[in-house]
Amino acid sequence: MVSSHSLTPAPRNRLLAALPPSSLSRIWPELRPVELVSKVVLHEPNAPITSIYFPDDGYVSMVAYMEDGDAAEVGLVGPEGLVGLPVLLGSDRSTIEALVQCPGTAWTMSADALRAAVSADPVLHSFTLRYALAHLEQVARTAACNSRHHTQERLARWLLMAHDRTSNNQFPMTHEILSMMLGVRRAGITVAAGQFQKSGFIRYEKGRITVTDRAGLESVACECYGVQRRIHEHLFCSRAAPGSEQS
């Protein structure tokens, strides 16, 4: 379960922090701090989405399942955004599972409260839709990357994305989970991770990965990582959403 957890008054979530004071104050009374517990499912496939999550730390994998039980990650959400995008796009559910991959903290509010807030506040609506577009671009880039790039490049991209969303250099991960996240055989992950460890880019032990040379990972990652990072930086480059100034 997701349990209550004490957080600082100021959100570290970049989407919340980027909101104009008037928009943040509108939803602030609805937000409550929670702890994101590893392996907890926040949203189950095809089930009603009743809560929205704004991670402050850690990350959530968006996972697509096949009929045979096989699965692959199609997106990653951390302190840059929110979990529960279908609510913003007019739906109350999705076929995608939201699974806490790296534990952390977050702010949560009811889906109904967010619907009411974005309906009443055009600036809030614009900001959240801009994030929705950025996340959809991440999903599209992930699909292209998985079909065109080698396992080593994709693994470096994923490790950098995970590293961006944590507050330190270490996070929980196993080769089995990485193979599911990237949609490749476990043997391929073992070989690629072994090469990274030999090169001094990472240290892997007891189900945890430590990034020891970020520049090294960046040197072998495909261009998809840079594209995705620029998309998110553009999202937060201004505190004002284009064309949505309030009087």
CATH at residue 162: 1.10.10.10
Question: Tell me, what's the pLDDT at 117?
Answer: 97
pLDDT digits (tens, 9 = 90+) for 187-243: 999 999 999 999 999 999 888 999 999 999 999 999 999 998 998 888 877 544 444
Instruction: Indicate if 47 and 116 belong to the same structural domain.
Output: yes
Instruction: Indicate if 199 and 105 belong to the same structural domain.
Output: no
37 assigned to some structural domain: yes
Instruction: Indicate if 111 and 25 belong to the same structural domain.
Output: yes
How many CB atoms are closer than 10 A to CB 36? 25
145 assigned to some structural domain: no
246 assigned to some structural domain: no
Distance CA 145, CA 152 (A): 12
30 assigned to some structural domain: yes
226 assigned to some structural domain: no
247 assigned to some structural domain: no
Instruction: Indicate if 107 and 155 belong to the same structural domain.
Output: no
Q: Rounded to two decimals, what is the model's pTM?
A: 0.89
Question: Tell me, what's the pLDDT at 14?
Answer: 94
Q: Is beta strand 104-110 parallel, antiparallel or unpaired with respect to 71-77?
A: unpaired
Instruction: Indicate if 85 and 195 belong to the same structural domain.
Output: no
Q: Tokens representing 138?
A: 């991440």
Instruction: Indicate if 17 and 109 belong to the same structural domain.
Output: yes
Distance CA 159, CA 222 (A): 12
Instruction: Indicate if 49 and 157 belong to the same structural domain.
Output: no
Instruction: Indicate if 163 and 202 belong to the same structural domain.
Output: yes
* DSSP 8-state class, residue 181: H
Instruction: Indicate if 52 and 159 belong to the same structural domain.
Output: no
Low-confidence ranges of the chain (pLDDT < 70): 1-9, 238-247
Question: Tell me, what's the pLDDT at 11?
Answer: 85
Mean pLDDT for the chain overall: 89
User: Which residues contact residue 73 at a Cβ distance below 8 angstroms, ignoring those fewer than 6 apart?
Assistant: 61, 62, 63, 64, 142, 180, 181, 182, 183
Q: Which is it for the CA torsion 5, 166, 182, 51, positive or negative? A: positive
Instruction: Give yes or no for a contact between 45 and 96, defined as CB atoms under 8 angstroms apart.
Output: yes
User: Which residues contact residue 237 at a Cβ distance below 8 angstroms, ignoring those fewer than 6 apart?
Assistant: none
Distance CA 84, CA 62 (A): 10
Instruction: Indicate if 215 and 158 belong to the same structural domain.
Output: yes
Instruction: Indicate if 35 and 105 belong to the same structural domain.
Output: yes
**CATH code: domain of residue 38:** 2.60.120.10
Q: Which domain holds residue 192?
A: 150-221
Total count of domains within the chain? 2
244 assigned to some structural domain: no
191 assigned to some structural domain: yes
**Beta strands of the chain (E only): which ranges?**
3-4, 32-36, 41-43, 51-55, 59-65, 71-77, 97-102, 104-110, 170-172, 202-205, 208-211
Question: Tell me, what's the pLDDT at 238?
Answer: 52
Instruction: Indicate if 161 and 201 belong to the same structural domain.
Output: yes
3 state DSSP class of 210 = strand
